[in-house]
Structure 1
Amino acid sequence: MGVLDKDYHIGLNTPQDVESPKHMMPIKVAIGCYNYLFGEGIKRLLQDEREIDVIGIFNEGADFKEIIKIEPDVALVDFYIFRDLPEDFASQTQVKILIIGNRTFYAVSDKRMADLVSKGVAGILPPGADSYLLKKATKAIYSGELWLDRKTMRNILSYESFSKREIKLTEAEKEIVSLICQGYRNKEIAQKLNISEQTVKSHCNRIYKKVGVSDRLQLAIYVYKLWPDWSHTRVGIEK
């Protein structure tokens, strides 16, 4: 499910540091901040990163459609800007959303945090994050990962509820669940088990259906909460 970073950060589904291939085009980033000067400050923090290209800065009053119109890969937005985004934003675009926490971060309820993730937010950076983590989180969510700090993850764990029922998984499915909870991606699982990536995807779909979840995050949360025989270290969160 993830690895601890700097003692308190979790990058879900990232067993190793995220590194962009050398041949990859720069990640196109749009920044949305209530205060335009803060947006410029974030841009300066990212300027020395060759793998990231800031293509636009938006401030208060910016419409979500304006942001996605310039076709960024990742949008870095603060809570002031994010609260104006439509509820169905994830269905309107493939842009990955990374929320940059400010002083209102700690006032956001656990339910709201869980809703944000379930509706498509790819990452949330707490106010204490530095430029190193900003860059790392941007690369991680661009690569399809979910980026949450430990406290946020625990809040989501406490909020999410599942009904416990008897679930019968094959040995192959159990092995895949174990690898998913350790943070391995489909391609890595395929290599580890010497099977095709398509076979892994088929297994995952059957597992999701049996467990009654829709994605890797929910599966890992289910395992953490309802299968106590699975160790805490396997999901990357300490007791």
Structure 2
Amino acid sequence: MANILILSINPILADQWKTILSEEHKINIVDTINHAIGHIQMNPTDILIIDADAADFDTDTTALAQIQNTALKALIIGRDWPEDQQIHALISGFSGYCEYDAAADQLLKATNSLLKGDIWIQRHLVPKVIGHLIELTNAQTIQTEKTTPAHNNLQTLTHRELDVAKMIRAGESNKTIASLLNISERTVKAHLTSIFQKLEVQDRLHLAVLLKEIIQ
């Protein structure tokens, strides 16, 4: 059971999301970004669900930056965000984006995916997110990454873990990886957990970016 914080100015919607998530997790609700920051500072919080109507992503830059600086996994729920805006949210440090209309069906699954170290975004956008992140990485940063423990620990991966890691780099889903390697999805998830720990990355997106740089 994880500690989930919902930030929303719509009490009816927040209660609906709480009902969905409380099947498996402990839920708290706040109605302003400042209240969210205060709660995060004082209470254990694993995931932040952000109602986009409760945060002006164009003007509340300072408050949103405070949330991003906590390194907390955050899922944005918005209305008809264009793909470029979704991609920008991911490369800015948020962990996923979900449409309001899909929240009733996808919210619990999206939250659990974030808890496992995944991101939540339309699958076809994943390569674009990775591409943007790599473009933002300058030569100095790349050189620095190549001397980090994450790079040095690449040799600690087992042969099968390396196979899984390379498929993550290619943007494959757990289901596809399981099929190609003739293993279960549960085994794929176990390999990913081990890979994240060994390479000191927080999710499959950062793993893919890292591997794009250090594996040719």
Mapped to 1, the partners of 2:89 and 2:110 lie a distance apart of 17
TM-score normalised by the chain length of structure 1: 0.54
Larger mean Cα displacement after TM superposition, 176-185 or 36-45: 176-185
TM-score after normalising by structure 2: 0.59
2:42 counterpart of 1:67: no
Task: Tell me, yes or no, if the aligned pair for 1:114 and 1:159 is still in contact at 8 Å.
Answer: no
Q: Is the 8 A contact 1:34 1:80 kept in 2?
A: yes
Residue number in structure 2 paired with 1:215 = 206
Partner in structure 2 of residue 124 of structure 1: 97
Equivalent residue, structure 2, for 1:76: 49
**Distance in structure 1 (CA, Å) of the matches to 2:19 and 2:127:** 32
User: In 2, are the aligned partners of 1:97 and 1:123 still within 8 Å (CA)?
Assistant: yes
Query: What letter corresponds to residue 91 of structure 2 in structure 1?
Result: D
SS in 2 for 1:147: coil
The verdict on how the C-alpha distance between 1:86 and 1:52 changes in structure 2, with shifts beyond 3 A counting, is: same
* C-alpha separation in 2, matches of 1:189 and 1:143: 9
**DSSP 3-state at the match of 1:139:** helix
Letter of the 2:7 counterpart = G
Corresponding residue pairs, total: 173
Q: In the alignment, which residue of structure 1 is the partner of 2:151?
A: none
The verdict on how the C-alpha distance between 1:110 and 1:135 changes in structure 2, with shifts beyond 3 A counting, is closer
The letter for the 1-side match of 2:25 is I
Among 151, 164, 167, the residue aligned to 1:179? 164
- Please state if 1:188 is matched with 2:160: no
Question: Are the counterparts in 1 of residues 91 and 129 from structure 2 also a CA contact under 8 Å?
Answer: no
Q: Counterpart amino acid of 2:37?
A: K
Q: Which runs of 5+ in 2 are unaligned?
A: 139-145, 147-153, 175-187
Q: Determine if contact 2:17/2:107 at 8 Å carries over to the other structure.
A: no
Q: Cα gap change, 1:67/1:158 in structure 2, threshold over 3 Å: closer, same or farther?
A: same
As a proportion of its length, which structure holds more helix? 2
Can you give the 5+ residue segments of structure 1 that lack an aligned partner in the other structure?
1-25, 191-196, 209-213, 228-239
**Relative to structure 2, which stretch is displaced further, 70-79 or 106-115?**
106-115
Q: Give the equivalent residue in structure 2 for 1:112.
A: 88
Give the alignment partner of residue 149 of structure 1, picking from 92, 104, 122. 122
**One-letter amino acid matched to 1:106:** P
More strand by share: 1
- Structure 1 residues 60 and 37: alpha-carbon distance in aligned structure 2, compared to 1, 3 A threshold: farther
CA contact (8 A) 2:5 2:49 kept: yes
The residue that corresponds to 2:12 in the other structure is 37
Q: Which residue does the alignment assign to 1:15?
A: none
State the structure with bigger RCO (CA 8 A, min sep 6), 1 or 2.
1
Tell me the secondary structure at the aligned position of residue 82 of structure 2: helix
Secondary structure of the structure 2 residue equivalent to 1:72: coil
CA distance in 2, matches of 1:61, 1:161: 30
